[in-house]
Amino acid sequence: MIERAKEIAQSVHGPLKDKKHYPYMSHIIDVAKRVSHLGEKYEVVAWLHDAIEDAKPVDFKKKVTAQIEVAFDEEIVLAIKAISKNPGEDYFADYLPRLKLNSIATQVKIADASHNLSKAHLLNQIDEIPLQEELRSKYIKVLDELGVDGKSCEKPLEHKDGKWLIKE
């Protein structure tokens, strides 16, 4: 199951880079690692937590969604759909309340938001500071909304040898 999730994730995120030009797949890998102790279903959802949302164009998104629906059981499919933000949804008024109805999606979102919060410090150029502050505030609020202490989830990361590691 995990291998199939990795294949689908790679097909969507393989060539993508994040805001600081790090391979986007290293984010996916880190989120999956953060929830692997919870079980295989959580890890599968982590591998695919951005797949539907990031798959473009529309035809590719439909193909990815169909692949997920065929490859995984209903519990996993529902969790992946719960963690996928729909177009036009307000993040705090619509998306998070819907996501919180699914326990797997909630735990994966905690891992995702913790990862994103923990790399916000990398936006450290003078012109990036407002974005850093905006993202830190957003992810602390997200984590608080999901029932964890957002500030305590911030553990600055560094990207080394293709992986995200807690900065020492």
| Top-confidence residue, 55 or 99 | 99
pLDDT-derived band of residue 163, with 50, 70 and 90 as boundaries?
confident
Mean pLDDT of 143-153: 92
pLDDT-derived band of residue 122, with 50, 70 and 90 as boundaries?
confident
pLDDT-derived band of residue 105, with 50, 70 and 90 as boundaries?
very high
Tell me, what's the pLDDT at 168? 64
| Top-confidence residue, 135 or 121 | 135
What's at 155, amino acid-wise?
A: K
Mean pLDDT of 66-93: 96
The domain tally of the chain equals 1
- As a whole number, the mean pLDDT across the chain is 92
The angle at the Cα of 3, spanning 111 to 34, to the nearest 5 degrees, equals 15
Residue 89 has, within 13 A of its CA and on its CB side, a CA count of: 16
Structural domain range at position 63: 2-166
**DSSP states along the chain:** -HHHHHHHHHHHHTT-B-TTS-BHHHHHHHHHHHHGGG-HHHHHHHHTTTHHHH--SHHHHHHHHHHHHHHS-HHHHHHHHHHSPPTT--IIIIIHHHHTT-HHHHHHHHHHHHHHHHTGGG--SGGGHHHHHHHHHHHHHHHHHTTS-GGGG---EEEETTEEEE--
- The values of phi and psi at residue 160, to 5°, are -140, 130
Mean pLDDT of 98-123: 92
Tell me, what's the pLDDT at 92? 96
152: domain CATH number?
1.10.3210.10
Mean pLDDT of 25-54: 95
Mean pLDDT of 63-68: 96
Cα–Cα distances in angstroms (integers) from residue 137 to residues 110, 117, 120, in the given order: 15, 9, 10
Q: What is the pTM of this model?
A: 0.91
CA distance 118 to 158: 9
